[in-house]
Amino acid sequence: MADNITPILELKNVVSAYGRIKALKGISLKVFPGEIVTIIGANGAGKSTTLMTICNIITAVEGDILYKGERINNIASDILPSMGLCQVPEGRRIFPRLTVMENLDMGAFFRKDAADIKHDLERVFELFPKLRERRKQLGGTLSGGEQQMLAMGRALMSSPKVLLLDEPSMGLAPLLVKQIFDIIRMINSQGVTVVLVEQNANLALQCAQRGYVLETGTVVMEDEADKLLTNPDIRKAYLGE
């Protein structure tokens, strides 16, 4: 990536902790506009913690989190979606007692631009036709794959510039996993920058342009995704070879 392009999202020496236990130990990473960047690593490496720290769900005790060049460390997590930074958390966390349509409306609750909201709703239904079919159905009655689609659709209703995806393939059948990753590429092609945390390192690296490897809260490697895919150490440690 060219040196003169400003990252849309950047972490500089970020430390966060659960009580006295440091979960992130001074990580730095950059995400440039229009990219898909993946963060891979073993369970407990700090991947999900990184996304939660970006969103200030977990507070960074040291370092800087920059979004569009501005420090966002102290901005409340519920304000960030209105700024264009939105997370789809691990485990989906939809509103099970609300309908699909009500869940999607919640994604746009802070927006006033009715025409653009209508346009974005149609875009969500084009990406996820199942949601159109099930728009009056309660979220909790959807299948796991449909709930993942709903969680992603709800995030898209906030009109994000950067979408943080935490384990989107978790618990899904292989056919649905392929569909979700095809949709991630489609969302990215429509101008949304994506940060992808994913246990399936092989799929994540095939989808992304660049990747970071975390081990116990530390970035141990970063490179173009295709180079990480062919790196023998990565293949042995994370790709089951």
Q: What's the pLDDT tens digit per position in 51-67?
A: 999 999 999 999 999 99
CA distance 241 to 234: 9
What is the pLDDT confidence band of residue 38, given thresholds at 50, 70 and 90? very high
- Tokens, residue 192: 């949304």
**Percentage of the chain surpassing pLDDT 70?**
98
Confidence (pLDDT) at 230: 94
CA distance 155 to 157: 5
Q: Which residues contact 217 (CB under 8 A, 6 or more apart)?
A: 22, 23, 24, 25, 27, 45, 46, 49
Confidence (pLDDT) at 89: 86
Strands 85-88 and 70-71: unpaired
Confidence (pLDDT) at 237: 86
**pLDDT over threshold 90, residue 157:** yes
Higher per-residue pLDDT: 236 or 196:
196
How much is the average pLDDT of 100-126? 94
Confidence (pLDDT) at 190: 92
* Domains, the chain, ordered by start: 1-84+196-241 (3.40.50.300)
Q: Do residues 169 and 181 make contact, with C-beta atoms less than 8 angstroms apart?
A: yes
**pLDDT over threshold 70, residue 1:** no
Whether this prediction's pTM lies above 0.85 is answered by yes
How much is the average pLDDT of 156-182? 92
How much is the average pLDDT of 25-54? 96
